[in-house]
Amino acid sequence: MDDIDSPNSLRNDQIAAFRERGFIKLEGVLPVEVLDRFGPEFSRIVHERNTQTLPMEERSTRQQAFIQVINLWKESEEAKRFVFGKRLARIAAELMGTRGVRLYHDQALFKEAGGGFTPWHADQYYWPFATDRCCTVWIPLQDTLAEMGPIAFSEGSHWVTEGRDLNISDESEVRIEDVLRSAGKTTIEQTFSRGDVSFHYGWTFHRAAGNRTERDREAMTMIYMDVDMRMKEEDNPHQQAAIWCPGVKVGEIIDTPVTPVIYEAVGR
């Protein structure tokens, strides 16, 4: 499984594009053999931990959007092996220009067959981070065509501050759409082949269309933060620093047993 730890070279233009656009899709970063090995374990954990039993038509917009299971790494050594892999973490550090990254948490996001759209939102709304040096890697576990609802990004929207105070909801879909349209931002939706991954900044606005197929759209994600990230005051109830950053005080580095260093450059 060296391919989840070995380096994956980035070009300077890829790093520059990520920082300018707020996201990047990288092709063939993970061999399909890696997904063949770890994908079934992610699926097993998600289906064991899923508590959603309502019919699709009785769910809220967010409940229709995806099944969300957090911190799979705590559920099995196999899941932990993948989540703690250094390849993707190193890419995140190099894209953001940090000397290393910690894991904030992982999460599986499974959009069920016939599932609804994911409203516009920015992930960092949920995180008590003092800077913007954080990102999410999105890893589809199958070929993901447009009809499955791949992740879609608003190009350059990590510079847009209006709308950052919105929880993912029907309101965020409407209001952020208006903000992005007024700012002249372009939405980029791409298909993904198995092994392709994307990275996006915490403040990059993104959404996904509904899954119009008869197969679940399965995706695994990891949230990385600067190895030197400090905690800020909570500004909404979703950040719950006591849960996600146990024992850390405002202004301190988020260094806890549940936020381990995944990659750190030697000699920096």
pLDDT digits (tens, 9 = 90+) for 72-83: 999 999 999 999
Q: Rounded CA gap, 73 and 71, in Å?
A: 5
Q: Which CATH class is domain 27-251?
A: mainly beta
Chain position carrying tokens 């053999």:
33
| Reported pTM | 0.96
Q: What are phi and psi of 110, to 5 degrees?
A: -105, 115
Residue 267: the pLDDT is: 66
pLDDT digits (tens, 9 = 90+) for 92-131: 999 999 999 999 999 999 999 999 999 999 999 999 999 9
Residue 35: the pLDDT is: 97
Tell me what the pLDDT averaged over the chain comes to.
Answer: 96
Residue 1: the pLDDT is: 60
Residue 242: the pLDDT is: 79
Chain position carrying tokens 């791409």:
190
Residue 241: the pLDDT is: 82
Residues (pLDDT < 50) of the chain are none
Residue 47: the pLDDT is: 96
Residue 79: the pLDDT is: 98
CA distances, 19 to each of 29, 57, 150 (Å)? 19, 39, 21
Going from N- to C-terminal start, the domains of the chain cover 27-251
